[in-house]
Chains A and B, each alone.
Chain A
Amino acid sequence: MEEVNTGEGVKIIMTFDITLIFFSILVPSLGYSVPLILAGTAEVILERSGVINIGMEGLMLVSAFVAAAIAYTSGSLILGLLSALGIGLIFAIIYSFLILSLSADQIIAGIGLYLLGTGASVLGLYAVFHAAIMPFALPETLPGIQVYTYGKISYLFFVSVAVSIAAYLFLFKTKAGLVVRAIGESPEAADAAGTSISRVRFAIIIIDMLLVSLAGAYLSIDLNPRFVQGMTNGTGFIALAMAAFANWNPLLALFGGILFGFTEALPLWLSVVIGVSYPYQFTNMIPFIAVIVVLAGVIRRVRAPAAVGRIFKRT
């Protein structure tokens, strides 16, 4: 490898080292894909049951904060992870109460949960650490498989793949999955057939929120060793977009997670490994532009579950 400094602040790495180029993008791509696969799969299952959750970003931030704060104060990563899942459970109960018991508007409640989550995570940061940033990083992160010197592939990556496959088998190969899909297409018909809409949706909302809070915890105690304000940086919203991209199929959400994980890993890779000296703002736009382009391209070929976002009331 040979480094050439052109003197204009542009550093070009002269190299034909294929392994470097390959692994230096593969490992971070898989790293970024974990929260997308988890939250994207969660959103697919949720929307299949006729419920939408646009406030995932807020829950992810709170979970990320709680996981890092508890892991830091207690010294146990597992305790941090479990606390984050506890937050997911609380959010699930709040959201279910709002939309199932009170027939709240799902979009507006989602906006509210996003704002609330963003605000609460920063308030928590100030309350626990009395500062705008976590003063110390966690001494360790969750374990994974070390890939030479390029970083690690977290065990949670394999967990997220398993979750996607399990979600696919559940939705399309089991009777319970059929019930969930029926509720998402026509809650009236499912209700007439004797299914309790609220009970099924409550269960699905709990699964959804647990997966999303796992995704949040992953960000702060696995991918990074600390919580940073706004560290999700749109991950929750990209996961929301993935439901349509995946045509509401968990296996395609797995593919989408890796694809968009790649676009999220691209900015840093372009500047560090390839030496592209574009203003970072332009490379940072890549994932968001990719979402719009991909959605514009695929959307005509997909069909959403008919009852997504609609309030179901027995008449």
Chain B
Amino acid sequence: MELGQSEETESAKITATIDFQKVAESIILVLIGFGISAIVIQVAGYSAVTALSTLVQSSIGSPSGLSSTLWEATSLTMTGLAATIAFRAGLFNIGVEGQAYLGGFMGFLVGYYFSFPTVIEIPLVIIASALGGLLWALIPAFLKAYRDVNEVVTTIMMNYIGSYLVSYLQTIYKSPYGNAAYTSQVNPTAQFMRLFPWGTLDTGIIVSLIGLVVVYFILWYTTIGYSIRVSGYNPFAARYAGVNPKRMTLFVMLLSGSLAGIGGALFTNSSIIGHFDITTITGVGLNGITVSLIGQIHPIGTLLGALLVGAMVASTPFIEIATGMPPQLVQLITGIIVVAASIPGIITMLRTALNRWRKSTQAKE
């Protein structure tokens, strides 16, 4: 707590308090994202009004829709936290996507081979999936820490390798029924239990919320969390303060990979899915990165970002039916939001621009 108090005077980047300017910034980012997307949608010859009203109605307009939104947000929160903890340390772990594939597949394997009672099975699924994600972060982590290889490049390469690996592995466990390209179902005890009869939401959301609290606690109430934040803010200051950059890189990348892996299992072992399919799990990690950036790389912001992106992903099939637009629409909108999120201090910038404009109009008068 002492650390927390002394930080108050430091830059807003290191403080734990909820910063209303940052909240307003996130809202502006989202508005920019939707505004520009609406123009693009209209130019492409579709109806932006229909798309937007379908999005709202199908994501929060009914109990089952709301439930789907929360279900999508479950895995996105976890992969978003994985991105958040890495970005906080200044490490761009784009490999969240591949780590989620491997974690999801490990979750499937546990559920496929073992059928212990749920109280043992689910923790086993979580541990295995964390190991899967960790394994996939291992090579980029070591290369970054000991050979200074850019983690952006290596993690992206690992995403491609992971995607090919799991798409091969899933053929080994291919479902015997019909022409399905995905695997057989896991044992029912390995699936997260449904919370309400009228929707897809399951107990996975509890795991996500625990993850949120853990990440929040690590970042703001532990020494290592303090080191993570300082490393991301100013690596030279961190080194001067006695942080071992190699150990820090390894720790953060592996923790991030583990969280991403769990995020993958929250998807595959959920009540509604229960099998591994590379085509449906694709995007869980990349969207997690978006979620983290919308949430200003803050755990609570990550949760809110996950709800927003979750709503978009959940409503995609409905938008596709209503307007004929492809599911990649989500990538377009999130892409624009991320571009807007790359601009630092968007509020300060708008305020300065407004002042300058006011001054120039006053000068004319």
Binding site for B on A (CB under 8 A): 54, 58, 94, 98, 102-109, 111-120, 122-127, 130, 132, 234, 237, 240-241, 244, 279, 281-282, 284-285, 288-289, 291-292, 295-296, 299-300
Asked whether A237 lies within 8 Å of B157 as measured between CB atoms, the reply is: yes
User: How close is A290's CB to chain B, nearest CB, in angstroms?
Assistant: 9
**Is B201 an interface residue, CB under 8 A from the partner?**
no
* Pick from B154, B326, B330, B342: contact of A109, CB under 8 Å: B342
Residues in A neighbouring B161, C-beta threshold 8 A = 285, 288-289
**Is B152 an interface residue, CB under 8 A from the partner?**
yes
Residues in B neighbouring A113, C-beta threshold 8 A = 335, 339
In the complex, the chain B residue whose C-beta lies closest to that of A290 is: B157
Residues in B neighbouring A108, C-beta threshold 8 A = 293, 338, 341-342
In the complex, the chain A residue whose C-beta lies closest to that of B338 is: A112
User: How close is B260's CB to chain A, nearest CB, in angstroms?
Assistant: 16
In the complex, the chain B residue whose C-beta lies closest to that of A58 is: B335
Residues in B neighbouring A120, C-beta threshold 8 A = 40, 332, 335
User: How close is B278's CB to chain A, nearest CB, in angstroms?
Assistant: 10
Residues in A neighbouring B334, C-beta threshold 8 A = 115, 119
User: How close is B301's CB to chain A, nearest CB, in angstroms?
Assistant: 15
Residues in A neighbouring B171, C-beta threshold 8 A = 279
What are 16 A-B pairs at a CB distance below 8 A? Answer: A103-B343, A103-B344, A104-B339, A109-B342, A114-B335, A116-B336, A117-B335, A118-B331, A118-B335, A124-B44, A240-B152, A285-B161, A289-B157, A291-B153, A292-B139, A295-B154
- Besides A105-B344, A115-B332, A281-B168, 18 other A-B contacts (C-beta < 8 A): A106-B342, A107-B342, A108-B293, A108-B342, A112-B337, A113-B339, A115-B331, A116-B338, A119-B333, A122-B331, A123-B40, A123-B326, A123-B329, A126-B44, A234-B160, A237-B156, A292-B157, A299-B149
Asked whether B343 lies within 8 Å of A102 as measured between CB atoms, the reply is: yes
* Docked pose: A44 CA to B343 CA in angstroms: 24
In the complex, the chain B residue whose C-beta lies closest to that of A304 is: B150
* Pick from B143, B160, B325, B340: contact of A285, CB under 8 Å: B160
**Is B92 an interface residue, CB under 8 A from the partner?**
yes
User: How close is B28's CB to chain A, nearest CB, in angstroms?
Assistant: 13
In the complex, the chain A residue whose C-beta lies closest to that of B337 is: A112
**Is B197 an interface residue, CB under 8 A from the partner?**
no
Residues in B neighbouring A114, C-beta threshold 8 A = 335
**Is B364 an interface residue, CB under 8 A from the partner?**
no
Residues in B neighbouring A54, C-beta threshold 8 A = 152
User: How close is B265's CB to chain A, nearest CB, in angstroms?
Assistant: 22
User: How close is A57's CB to chain B, nearest CB, in angstroms?
Assistant: 9
Q: How many residues of B contact A (CB 8 A)?
A: 51
**A-B contacts, CB under 8 A, total:** 147
Residues in A neighbouring B168, C-beta threshold 8 A = 279, 281-282
* Docked pose: A254 CA to B59 CA in angstroms: 49
Residues in A neighbouring B324, C-beta threshold 8 A = 126, 130
* Pick from A279, A281, A282, A288: contact of B157, CB under 8 Å: A288
**Is B23 an interface residue, CB under 8 A from the partner?**
no
Contact with A along B35-71 (1 / 0, CB 8 A): 0000011001110000000000000000000000000
User: How close is A70's CB to chain B, nearest CB, in angstroms?
Assistant: 15
Residues in A neighbouring B167, C-beta threshold 8 A = 281
Contact with A along B133-171 (1 / 0, CB 8 A): 000000100010001111011101110110011011001
Residues in A neighbouring B164, C-beta threshold 8 A = 281-282, 284-285
* Pick from A116, A282, A285: contact of B335, CB under 8 Å: A116
Asked whether A126 and B325 contact (CB < 8 A) given A115-B290, A115-B331, A296-B147, the answer is: yes
Asked whether B328 lies within 8 Å of A237 as measured between CB atoms, the reply is: no
Residues in A neighbouring B81, C-beta threshold 8 A = none
What 6 pairs across the A-B complex have the smallest Cβ distances? A119-B332, A116-B335, A115-B335, A112-B339, A112-B338, A119-B331
* Docked pose: A105 CA to B293 CA in angstroms: 12
Beta-carbon contacts under 8 Å, B73-97 to A: 92, 94
In the complex, the chain A residue whose C-beta lies closest to that of B92 is: A107
